[in-house]
Amino acid sequence: MNLLERLAEMDGEQVVFCHDALAGLRGLIAIHDTTLGPAMGGLRIHPYPSEEEALEDALRLSRAMTMKASAAGLNLGGGCAVVICDLRQGKSEALLRAFGRQVEGLGGRFTIAEDAGTTVEDMETIAQETRYVVGLNKRRGGSGDPALKAALGVFHGIQACLEAVFGDRGLRNRRVAIQGVGAVGLELARLLGEEGAALVVADTDSRRIDKVRTFLQAEVVAPEKISGVDCDVFSPCALGGVLTEAAVAGLRARIVAGSANNQLESERVGDLLHARGITYAPDFVINAGGLINAAEELQGYDETTANAKIGKLFQTIQTILRLAREKSIPSHVAANQWAQDRIRVIRDVRRTFLPAEH
Ligand code: NAD
């Protein structure tokens, strides 16, 4: 792979390769775009089969973070860190701290957060070496588990979709089918259930279903049935790529709104949703609650303020759905335009010379 060519294709800014033999560190940090502010992104620890796959994942995720931060109105850019490591061998303290030192060396151009394969405890370990880490324990003034806030954002986004489709955001007697009741899906089910929604859930892990049953009333269906359930809202909260052409053809919901990243298998699937008149809440917009919450930590975390900012996802989703309607374009296209426009306009605004910046 020609690395620089790939970076140019992705319109990325910088890739930093990180190595520490003693700590067993092999990883990289991709910084996609810092027009709006310093890059923020998750640390993904995964046994990537090759360096190319690790780099590709980091480039893709860093670009997605740029879009997510922009759409959420945050003054942050997009970044992503990946470490190639077999999790069965465990994440050593040395590995995490060595990585923290690499992050510190970037002087604040990149702030690290939790992602697949990392935990709040890992962020605490990393914080011993760098100031540029968020997602710390609430006891330490951190913002805690991002999944709960991702769920809160999806909850507001679903209400915005209901308002757009039915003229009423109320959840009483609305039927919501949730695919995946993991960290985000379970909390979302709780929030929706509290507001009187009828729930249908599916999960490939029976322990997760047992957990739902301990405190919620929900109908359970087989994982392969959930996308075809007759309901108002289908909420994908498991994996990416679940919205395939076949899945969209079988949808009986009026709205698709969930937390999973990269829900559309392809752009064409977004067009199909639009053609079928199904209201789709673009994934990178509706699932930004975790990022908004973590970003709050940079200012000194206050949960009330964070929740209020996450609540604004209601207006953001409304705005994007309105733009899509006015321009007769699919909502995923409207969301991309909305996020890119903000970056372009702010880049232009910041062309004015300020003595203090020099
Ligand atoms: P999780 O691993 O805790 O939960 C995912 C659940 O989906 C698991 O219970 C799993 O058993 C289930 N599942 C997997 N395949 C399934 C299938 N085919 N059908 C039904 N269930 C299936 O993950 P999470 O943290 O809840 O995240 C869920 C999604 O939301 C992911 O796509 C993630 O990238 C995205 N997301 C998460 C956050 C966050 O802060 N956790 C933030 C934004 C976006």
Cα(256)–Cα(183) distance, rounded to whole angstroms? Answer: 19
Phi first, then psi: give them for residue 142, nearest 5 degrees.
-85, 180
What are the pocket residues of ligand 1 if the criterion is a CB atom closer than 6 Å to any ligand atom? 146-147, 150, 179-185, 202-205, 208, 223, 237-240, 259-261, 287, 290
Residue 300 class from Cβ within 10 Å (0-12 exposed, 13-18 middle, 19+ buried)? exposed
DSSP 8-state secondary structure symbol assigned to residue 330: -
According to DSSP, residue 172 is labeled: T
Cβ atoms within 10 Å, residue 89: 10
Question: Of 285, 188, 284, nearest to 237 (Cα)?
Answer: 188
Atom number in ligand 1 closest to CA 259: 30
- The alpha carbons of the chain give a radius of gyration, in whole angstroms, of 20
Amino acid, single-letter form, for residue 269: V
Neighbours of 88 (CB within 10 A): 6
- Mind listing the domains of the chain with CATH numbers? 3-62+77-133 (3.40.50.10860), 147-342 (3.40.50.720)
Of 238, 243, 248, 282, the C-alpha closest to 265 is 243
C-alpha span between 358 and 352 (Å, rounded): 12
* pLDDT the model gives residue 115: 86
C-beta of residue 223 within 8 angstroms of C-beta of residue 200? no
Q: Where are the alpha helices (DSSP H) in 75-205?
A: 93-105, 120-126, 146-166, 183-194
Q: For residues 221 and 50, give the distance between their C-alpha atoms in angstroms, rounded to a whole number.
A: 37
Burial readout 13-31 (b: 16 or more C-beta within 10 A, e: otherwise): bbbbebebeebbbbbbbbb
The H or E element that residue 40 is part of is strand 39-46
- pLDDT value at position 139? 85
Q: What is the distance, to the nearest Å, from the Cα of residue 122 to the centroid of all Cα atoms in its chain? A: 19
pLDDT in tens, the chain (358 residues): 789 999 999 999 999 999 999 999 999 999 999 999 999 999 999 999 999 999 999 999 999 999 999 999 999 999 999 999 887 777 899 999 999 999 999 999 999 998 877 888 999 999 999 999 999 988 888 998 899 999 999 999 999 999 999 999 999 989 999 999 999 999 999 999 999 999 999 999 999 999 999 989 999 999 999 999 999 999 999 988 999 999 999 999 999 999 999 999 999 999 999 999 999 999 999 999 999 999 999 989 999 999 999 999 999 999 999 999 999 999 999 999 999 999 999 999 999 999 998 7
184 CA: nearest ligand 1 atom: 26
List strands edge to edge, sheet with 219-220.
219-220, 198-202, 175-179, 233-236, 255-256, 279-280
The pLDDT value recorded for residue 334 is 98
| Residue carrying structure tokens 């975790």 | 290
| Cβ neighbours around 72 below 10 Å, total | 24
Element (H, E) at 113: strand 110-114
Of how many residues is the chain composed?
A: 358
Measured by CA distance, the residue closest to atom 33 of ligand 1 is 260
Q: Check: CB of residue 40 under 8 Å from CB of residue 113.
A: yes
Q: Which residue's CA lies nearest to atom 4 of ligand 1?
A: 182
Q: Which atom of ligand 1 is nearest to the CA of 242?
A: 18
Q: How many angstroms does the Cα of residue 12 sit away from the middle of ligand 1?
A: 27
Distance between CA atoms of 162 and 165, rounded to whole angstroms? 5
| Residue 141: per-residue pLDDT | 84
Output the CA 346–ligand 1 centroid distance in Å: 33
Q: Which residue, judged by its Cα, is nearest atom 27 of ligand 1?
A: 184
Residue 338 phi, psi dihedral angles, 5° rounding: -60, -45
Instruction: Read off the amino acid at residue 31.
Output: I
- DSSP structural state of residue 133: B
pLDDT at 206: 96
Q: Which helix (H) or strand (E) holds 14?
A: strand 14-20
d(CA 21, CA 336): 41
Element (H, E) at 342: helix 331-349
- Phi-psi sector, 167: left (phi>0), alpha (psi -120 to 50), beta: left
| SS3 of residue 43 by DSSP | strand
Q: Which of ligand 1's atoms lies nearest the C-alpha of 205?
A: 11
State how far Cα 208 lies from the chain centre.
21
